Amino acid sequence: MVNFIRSIKWAFRSFFRHFGLSLVTTIIITFSLFSLTLLLFLNIVGNIIVKNLQNRIDVNLYLKENLSQEEIESFKNSLAKEPEIKEIIYISPEKSLEIFKEKHKENELILKSLEILGKNPLGGIIILRAKSIESYPLIIEKISNPIYDKFIQEKDFYEHEKIISIVKRISQKIYFAGIGIVLIFTFVSIIAIFNSIRLTVYAREEEIKIMRLIGATSGFARTPFVIENIFYGIFAWLINLGVFFLIFKFGLEKILSFLEIEKNLFLSYQQEIINSFLAVLVFSILLTMICGSLAVRKYIRT
Amino acid sequence: MIKFVNVTKFYPPDIYALRDINLYVKPSEFVSIVGQSGAGKTTLIKLLMAEERPSKGKIIIGDWDISKIKPSEIPYLRRQIGIVFQDFKLLKEKTVYENIAYGLEVIGARNKFIKEVVPQVLRVVGLEKKYKRFPDQLSVGEKQRVAIARAIVHRPKILAADEPTGNVDLINTREIIDLFKKINEMGTTVILVTHNREIVNYLKTRVIILEHGQIISDQPEGRYIL
């Protein structure tokens, strides 16, 4: 216990006595952690964008004009039983007309034609949203069942099918590319951090050798350096956290509006963002600890 | 106390740093090992500190055969031996006090004990008023006294000094040698490696002369005769 407390004290003292060296190492680690965090963050943003697109995808069912309210309700109820469907939105013929008029308020010809027609030519619309993007083909297959023909005038999903497959492809690509890039960046970070720690330890080679020559055990000689390296990792992480805090505080609105992401949707990923920062902290501590231990090993053999 | 039995140190392809060394050093003895550069003096100290292993033969300290010492046992051997180097090997960013205390801290001594012992050792080496200084603020002789203080602070049974006056002027050399004598009088076995004729003749203690890795003379109260 005495030795461990002493090691922490030495590590702390050494961190400040070799401040220049500590600062350079911390900055290098910070850059690595920043790149890694940014990448994890971009991965989350990628997922949010995909989710956002998914939310915009739906299947529109244009209902027949002569359906009674009971029939519409019974159709809605049978749709609600489908496990793939997350949400069913019903728009009445009156509301449809209202939306249609609003949409074409600049087009006098259309408005005039409606007037000449004298009645509402639009039926109700049912909008379906799936639980996941993978469910759309199944929903489309189910609503194509002839038993629903008596309710449905027209289905609007052919274009959606294309979008669905594109979004699905993009989301898969983002996922795999994300993993690949994170792995590459992690590897580059490990190399950068290991080399910077190796230089730090190299500068203290004499001290380690002296420790060994005057009777320090290898564990005792190693511990203060490993702890000092963990300090670099923690400080680098704190700086990284501070930088992201400033980015979030002053730039989040602009970033979200640029990416056309709703703030609430972004905030629903809060836990993932916190987890990413914690993962980077664990990565930083483990890496600096292992790198420090490996870098010291060479000089401990004396 | 220290026994070298037929010790040979060979560096491939064909360098014999030491060859068939037989040596016995009694407890509390003061032994000077002299010889020209390359005679094998430093190798002898390295073998004693287990920095190197003998290619042949046995080295026994007390009852401990250190020729085949396990790496995990080396720190415990070194705690029995104080070591002083020609280049002092002080830590520049530590004060005089911290450098001396370091000798105790690395072996896990308690803070209370360190606070008691370090001022005593500072008085022995005459640096009690300079304990807050950093090595760069000391003279060469003072630096060597700090190194000696660090080497004896844990009260080793043996003190080995490898050319401790190599970088020191004549007046400081005399002071340092007197310090070694004082430490020896307190019961510590001192092994002094030097090629300084004046020192050896001044000490009037046992002198072992090495040449090309072999002992060519071992006189109980010898002089430097090369």
Query: Residue A259 phi/psi, 5° resolution?
Result: -90, 0
Given CB atoms, is A92 within the 8 Å cutoff of chain B?
A: no
- What is the nearest CA distance from B23 to chain A, expressed in angstroms? 23
- What is the nearest CA distance from A184 to chain B, expressed in angstroms? 38
Say how many domains are in chain B. Answer: 1
Average pLDDT over residues A84-109: 84
Q: Which of A210, A212, A223, A297 to mutate to test the interface with B (most CBs of B within 10 A)?
A: A210
Q: How far, in Å, are A119, B52, B119, B159 from residue B91 at the CA level?
A: 97, 24, 19, 20
Given CB atoms, is B76 within the 8 Å cutoff of chain A?
A: yes
Q: Which of B72, B76, B103 sits opposite A214 (nearest CB)?
A: B103
pLDDT at A298: 81
Q: Give a yes or no: residue B167 inside a domain.
A: no
- What is the nearest CA distance from B154 to chain A, expressed in angstroms? 10
Average pLDDT over residues A135-145: 82
Given CB atoms, is B91 within the 8 Å cutoff of chain A?
A: yes
Q: Which domains does chain A have, with CATH numbers?
A: 2-53+166-300 (no CATH), 65-150 (3.30.70)
Q: What is the average pLDDT value for chain A, to the nearest integer?
A: 84
pLDDT at B156: 92
Q: Which of A206, A211, A302 sits opposite B106 (nearest CB)?
A: A211
Q: Which of B83, B108, B111 sits opposite A213 (nearest CB)?
A: B83
CA A35 centroid distance within chain: 15
Residues 11 to 50 of A: which have CB under 8 A from any B CB? 14, 17-18
Q: How far, in Å, are A123, A128, A223, B38 from residue A7 at the CA level?
A: 78, 64, 6, 39
Q: Which residue has the higher pLDDT, B25 or A3?
A: B25
Q: Give a yes or no: residue B144 inside a domain.
A: yes
The number of CA neighbours under 13 Å toward the Cβ of B120 is: 9
Q: What is the pLDDT along chain B (226 residues), one digit of tens a residue?
A: 899 999 999 998 889 999 999 999 999 999 999 988 888 999 999 999 999 999 999 999 988 899 989 988 999 999 999 999 988 899 888 899 999 999 999 888 899 999 999 999 999 999 999 999 999 999 999 999 999 999 999 999 999 999 998 878 878 888 899 999 999 999 999 999 988 888 888 888 999 999 999 999 998 876 666 5
The number of CA neighbours under 13 Å toward the Cβ of A100 is: 17
Q: Which of A8, A21, A207, A217 to mutate to test the interface with B (most CBs of B within 10 A)?
A: A217
pLDDT at A158: 57
pLDDT at A160: 64
pLDDT at B177: 92
Residue-wise pLDDT for A36-54, tens only, equals 888 888 888 877 877 777 7
What's the N-to-C CA distance of chain A in angstroms? 25
What's the N-to-C CA distance of chain B in angstroms? 28
Given CB atoms, is B89 within the 8 Å cutoff of chain A?
A: yes
Average pLDDT over residues A97-117: 82
Threshold 0.80, pTM exceeds: no
- Which residue(s) pair with A61 in the sheet? A126, A155
Q: Give a yes or no: residue B14 inside a domain.
A: no
Residue-wise pLDDT for A263-294, tens only, equals 888 888 889 889 999 999 999 999 999 988 98
CB contact under 8 A, A214 and B151: yes
By percentage, how much of chain A surpasses pLDDT 90? 12
Q: Give a yes or no: residue B136 inside a domain.
A: yes
Domain limits for position B126? 88-155
Q: Which of B90, B104, B105, B136 to mutate to test the interface with A (most CBs of A within 10 A)?
A: B105
Q: Is the ipTM of this complex over 0.90?
A: no
pLDDT at A164: 67
Q: Which residue has the higher pLDDT, A176 or B85?
A: B85
pLDDT at A67: 80
The number of CA neighbours under 13 Å toward the Cβ of A247 is: 12
Given CB atoms, is B143 within the 8 Å cutoff of chain A?
A: no
pLDDT at B226: 58
Residue A157 has pLDDT above 90, yes or no: no
Residues 46 to 65 of B: which have CB under 8 A from any A CB? 49, 51
